[in-house]
Structure 1
């Protein structure tokens, strides 16, 4: 089954699937938006972001806005390509191969 071979273990988690889905349609998403959109705890978001960052699928930007620290996320070119392959594989599986 060709579709099955395209699936990426990095996106098996519903949280990582959610993170990548949000980042595919937004250039940058800040921490609070991501956490609220997906309904995650701080620790849950942090661990999944770390995994995706380690694979170079997302970029993490830390900066100060005024005097407050802000963390934002963006999908890398590699991350977008790998996620699209995963989605294509899922579609093939759903269509029967």
Structure 2
């Protein structure tokens, strides 16, 4: 049963990122950081890992002269996270 859990979501930060993105379309860097109460570096490193796995999409743009980074879950990410949650529920006997 435990083999069905996705190692990419073992980190509480990655679990948090995906949880936020499952119920929101695009979330910007500052909002995500504040929601999860984590540091800039923590968010940057975990979002990079999720992006490399193609579970999230990262959009970087300028608003005026300020850089803005936003995230959203990909279809691949939504599917993988859903499967991870299902495995957790089965593990808990639901």
Please list every run of 5 or more consecutive structure 1 residues that lacks an aligned counterpart in the other structure: none
Name the TM-score, length of structure 1 as normaliser: 0.93
Name the TM-score, length of structure 2 as normaliser: 0.96
Please list every run of 5 or more consecutive structure 2 residues that lacks an aligned counterpart in the other structure: none
Correspondences of 1:1-97 after superposition (within 5 Å): 1=1, 4-95=2-93
Report how many aligned residue pairs link the two structures.
Answer: 94
Helix, strand or coil at the partner of 2:35: helix
Q: Deviations over 1:49-93 (max 9, x none)?
A: 010000000000001112211000000000000000000000000
Which runs of structure 1 show a deviation greater than 3 angstroms over 4 or more consecutive aligned residues? none
- Cα deviation for residue 24 of structure 1 reads 0.3
Larger RCO (CA under 8 A, 6+ residues apart): 1
Helix, strand or coil at the partner of 1:27: coil
